[in-house]
Amino acid sequence: MATVADPSEEQILRSAVELILDPSFSPANLDEQLGRIDPELASFATWRALTTLERFLPADTPWSVRVRSLRRRSFYAHSIALEAAARVSQQLALTGTEHALYGDLALALRHPNPGDRPVHAVVFTIAEDADTSVIGNALASFPKIMVDHVDAHRITGRIEGIELRIEKGWLPCPWYRRVPLTNQLIERPESNPSTDQPIPLLADAAEIIRLLELGGSGATDRTWPLDIARLEASDAPRLAAELGRTAFLIDQWESATDLGLFQTVPAPKLRGTPGEWLKRATTSRHRSIRRSARVAVGLLGEHPRHR
C-alpha cells in the first residue's frame, strides 16, 4: 500500500503520534498543513491521524465534518466486532482452545474510546492442536456469524460485513513461518471495555513485531505508528530475539524511533557472528526479491511449507 509522501501529511502523522505519547502536546500550524492538502486526495493514514487530533481541527470544515463521520462509522463497526469477538472467545474457551485476539479490534481496545480506531476484521490465533471443524460448526450456529471456509489451519467468515479469521498459530507476516501460540504471546486482561468476559489479547510485544514487519514490508498502510504508540514496547526486543526475528526489524525499528517511538527502549540486537548476520541479510534480500516477483504476477500467497 502507498505510504505518506506529502510533507504536510507526514507532519500530521507525527503530531498524532506525539499527542498519543504526550496528551499535553499541542500541534503547531495544523491549519496551515491542512491548507496544503486536498481532502479528496488525503491518505487513509492522514484521516486516522486526524481522528486522534480531532479536538484541534477547525470547526465546521470538511476535515472536522468527515472526521466525525469516520468516528461514527468506526464506533458502529467496533460495537459489532466486539460483541462477535466476545462470543467467539467464549466458544473457544468452552472447547478448551487456547486463543488470543489480535489485529484491528485488539488494537482498537487499546484506545480510550470506541470509534477512535477503524475495525475491519476480527482475528484470533489459536493453539496448533485445536480442532477447526468443531470450532467452525459451533460458530456457524451463532446468529450474524457467517462461516465461509474451514480447513485444517484456519476458519474464515464474516460478521455483518466485518471479516472474521481464526488461524492456528500466529502469523506475523503472510510470507513468514507460523509461530506457535504460547503463554508468552498472550495477555490476559482482567476486563475488557463493554464486555463481561475478558478476551485474551496478543501481547503488546508480539503486536509490535507484527506491525513493524508489516510496515517495513509495505504490506500495510502508514498507520502502524499510531497503533504502536498505544502499546508497551519494553518486551519487544527480547521477544524478537527469542523468535529470531531481529534481522527483519532493525531498519523499521529505526524508522519508528525517528517518529518518537521506542525512545527509552533499546533496539533488538542481532545474535551470532558477522558471517551469520550477512547470511540473514542476504536471505532477507532474496525473500524481498521473491516477494516482489509474486506480487508482480499476482501470485502472492502462503506456501504450504510455511504453515
| Count of structural domains within the chain | 3
- 102 & 65 share domain: no
- Do residues 108 and 156 share a domain? yes
Mean pLDDT for all residues in the chain: 84
Single residue among 50, 77, 104 that ends a domain in this structure:
77
pLDDT in tens, 78-126: 999 999 999 899 889 988 899 999 999 999 999 989 999 999 999 999 9
In a shared domain, residues 95 and 132: yes
For cell 521477544, what's the residue? Answer: 239
Range scoring the smallest mean pLDDT among 130-134, 166-170, 279-283: 279-283
Q: Which of 37, 59, 77 is the last residue of a domain?
A: 77
- Residue 150 sits in which domain range? 78-170
pLDDT band (50, 70, 90) for residue 246: confident
Tell me: the pLDDT tens digits for 200-236? 999 999 999 999 988 887 777 889 999 999 999 999 9
The answer to whether position 182 is within a domain reads: no
Query: Is residue 205 situated within a structural domain?
Result: no
User: pTM for the whole thing?
Assistant: 0.84
- Does residue 56 fall inside a structural domain? yes
In this structure, the answer to whether residues 144 and 119 fall within a common structural domain is: yes
Residue 136: its H or E element? helix 132-140
As a whole number, mean pLDDT of residues 189-194 equals: 64
DSSP per position, 103-132: SHHHHHTTSSSTTSS---EEEEEE-TT--H
Domain contains 177 = no
pLDDT for the residue numbered 268: 86
Same domain, 82 and 148: yes
The reply to whether 306 falls in a domain is: no
Residue 120 lies in a domain: yes
Residue 214 is assigned to a structural domain of this protein: no
Question: Where are any strands of DSSP class E within the chain?
Answer: 99-102, 121-126, 145-150, 154-159, 162-168, 186-187, 201-202
What whole-number distance in Å separates Cα of residue 169 and Cα of residue 133? Answer: 16
> Is residue 198 pLDDT above 60, yes or no?
yes
More confident residue, 300 or 160: 160
The verdict on 69 and 124 lying in the same domain is no
Does 73 lie in the same domain as 14? yes
Same domain assignment for residues 233 and 291: yes
Assess whether 48 and 101 both reside in one domain: no
Say whether both 157 and 137 belong to one domain: yes
Domain end (from 26, 59, 77):
77
Q: Does residue 67 sit in the same domain as residue 97?
A: no
Task: For residues 173 and 177, give the distance between their C-alpha atoms in angstroms, rounded to a whole number.
Answer: 8
Domain check: are 53 and 116 in the same one?
no
Residue 192 within any structural domain of the chain: no
pLDDT digits (tens, 9 = 90+) for 258-279: 999 998 999 888 665 555 555 5
Instruction: Kindly tell me if the per-residue pLDDT of 307 is higher than 80.
Output: no
Neighbour tally for 296: CB within 10 Å:
9
Higher pLDDT, 60 or 208: 208
CA of 63: how far to CAs of 20, 42, 67, in Å? 20, 10, 6
